Structure 1
Amino acid sequence: MSDESTVLYDAPGPRARRRNLITAVVFIAILVAIAAYVIKVLADNGQLDADMWSPFTVAGTWTTWLLPGLWGTIKAAFVSIVLALILGALLGIGRLSDHRWVRVVSGVIVEVFRAIPVLILMFFAYYLFAKYAVVPSSQLSFAAVVFGLTLYNGSVIAEILRAGILAVPKGQSEAASSIGLRKSQMMRMILLPQAVTAMLPALISQMVIALKDSALGYAFGYIEVVRSGIVSASYWGNYLPSLLVVAAIMITINFCLTALANYLEGRLRRGRRKTAVAAAEITEIDTMENLPGLTGLGR
């Protein structure tokens, strides 16, 4: 390790590195001891026996419970995330509008629905839709889950996008105005793309939250992966293995979502870098051609 200081902190010396190594070894040893104790307790209670895990080798466990539940989770999360992104973009831009009434209305919507728990929004939608027959009874629980997730996550995404837009250097807005772009064009072509790129990690985190919150639909009968795992466990009598399998499924989905976000973010950043380099080269060529005495250079 280099002994040179970084911009943010001084690199640790030999004594500090030795102390950090000892701390890391002790911490890892504690984690291993805790894991060994948990495994021993599970083994003593028969939770690691083969017959507790054998139901997952039966096709009926997956086709009857887990796969339909997984489809319900993905369907509710996908629809609500798409709608939340649209709602969040509208509210986030609305909070930056030049019209005061648009700013006020957008701000009230954001603050109200950010403050209400998601489960209450879902229950409200469930009983409202049921009372007035807004949707077919077969789609009632799905509509309630999507409604709650869309309003809550849309309000949070609105604040994320607003913060990202405000973080874009002010000079870019001034430059766009100086060449005659309208505010809608400036927002669509300059500010919003940069805000989305800058705030993509926060947006993905909110999407992961929406995916996990879809499990709240269990409270009023929506078939999603957590509910399906519990129903499967009640049939086979293997609650802990079922919950561990459900947890592994959710972790895998979230990992794939995060990996996709990192890939898209990298592509967006590389694209912006290439565009900036190309623009700089064109500007340099134009400048050299306009300099006196250099017009015939290289010809």
Structure 2
Amino acid sequence: MNSTAKTGTADDALFDQLGPRARARLRTVSIIATVVLLAVVTGMLIALGASGQLDPDRWAILVDGDYLGFLATGLGLTLVVGLVSTALSVILGVLLALGRISRSAWLRLPCAGLIEFFRAMPLLLILFFIMFAMPMLGLRLPTFWQLVLAIVAHASAIFAEIVRAGILSIGSGQSEAGKAIGLRHREVMGLIVLPQATRALTPALITQMVRTIKESSLGYVVGLSELLNNGKILSEFTGNFIQSFIGVGLFYIIVNIVLSRVAERLTSRVGKHA
């Protein structure tokens, strides 16, 4: 009761309560928006029906074992790219984060420069550089590693900032206590600070992992047979573009839901052990 009362008081202080007229306007706007949305959806369904896109035969690919198996194969490669990229990005991100908070300017400044540079660069531009510029320099990579390297370069900078924020959120008393018992700076970071920061940042890291998996959809640019590229091939083979890409979207939604549930469970466990 007390917590509810406090929350209500805080909300009242931050936001003005809507009056009768404002509530009536809000209801009117909501009704109009709902009607417009339903009209748009109805118009789309009518247009799809007129073009034959709602015929059951076109949607059969979403229940056909061969077609679903083809998409599932692409999903498998997408997950491999995502997991490999995430693992490498986390490792490199931790190293960059430790470098950025280092006491040595010779290490801190280059790490900060790399983080800011790759955070600012669009992933597609990094991928184009690896695809076209690196071969000019005599460096040729398989398509799998072209995509992974591009994702790692971009994602590791984001992971580095997440880890750095987690490290800085740990009170200085933890480090001082470690040094008081004779631990060196590296031991304090490895044994005390990093484990606590990792537990606190687990949900954020998983959220970034979901994003990394979705970034693997750029595999179609390098011709990698990942989920989106397989969906494109399926749409060209069957002529059912809408249905094929809806199937691809459903696969992505399933993966994101699963990872979101994992994040929620880890968050609850971290809260219990905190």
TM norm structure 1: 0.78
Separation in 2, partners of 1:172, 1:216: 42
User: How far, CA to CA, are the matches of 1:102 and 1:67 in structure 2?
Assistant: 44
Whether the aligned pair in 1 keeps the contact of 2:61 and 2:244 (CA below 8 Å) is no
**Structure 2 residue 44 is the aligned partner of structure 1 residue 41:** no
Match of 1:174 in 2: 176
Tell me if structure 2 keeps the 8 A contact 1:91–1:155.
Answer: yes
Tell me the residue number matched to 2:107: 102
Instruction: Report the AA paired with residue 206 of structure 1.
Output: Q
Contact 2:67–2:234 (CA under 8 A) maintained in structure 1 = yes
- Give the corresponding residue for 1:285: none
The range that moved more, 210-219 or 187-196, is 187-196
- Give me the whole-angstrom Cα distance separating, in 1, the residues matched to 2:105 and 2:213: 34
Between structure 1 and structure 2, the one with the greater Rg is: 1
Amino acid at match of 1:188: G
Q: Residues of 1 paired with 2:57 and 2:212: CA distance?
A: 34
Between the aligned partners of 1:97 and 1:133, the Cα distance in structure 2 is 32
In 1, distance between residues paired with 2:121 and 2:182?
42
SS state at 2:54 partner: coil
1:239 equivalent in structure 2: 241
Give me the whole-angstrom Cα distance separating, in 1, the residues matched to 2:124 and 2:252.
20
The reply to whether residue 68 of structure 1 matches residue 73 of structure 2 is: yes
**Aligned residue among 229, 232, 239 for 1:230:** 232
Q: What is the Cα deviation at residue 26 of structure 1?
A: 4.4
Structure 2, unpaired ranges of 5+: none
Alignment of 1:255-294 (within 5 A): 255-272=257-274
Measured after TM superposition, the shift of residue 13 of structure 1 is: 6.4
SS at match of 1:249: helix
Q: Which residue, out of 115, 122, 129, partners 1:117?
A: 122
**Aligned-pair CA distance for 1:236:** 0.7
Partner residue in 1 for 2:86: 81
- Partner of 2:9 in structure 1? 6
Q: Secondary structure at the match of 2:225?
A: coil
Distance 1:32 1:181 in 2: 65
Give structure 1 stretches of 5+ with no counterpart. 273-299
Contact 2:200-2:270 at 8 Å conserved across structures: no
Give the percent of matched residue pairs that are identical in Structure 1 and Structure 2.
33
Instruction: Give the deviation of 1:24 after TM superposition.
Output: 4.4
1:57 to 44, 60, 63: 63
d(CA) in 2 for partners of 1:22 and 1:169? 50
CA distance in 2, matches of 1:27, 1:177: 61
* Shift in Å, 1:219: 1.2
Structure-2 residue corresponding to 1:252? 254
The 2-side partners of 1:169 and 1:93 are apart by 16
- Runs (4+) of structure 1 moved beyond 6 Å? none
The TM-score with structure 2 as length reference comes to 0.85
The answer on whether the counterparts of 1:121 and 1:147 sit within 8 Å (CA) in structure 2 is: no
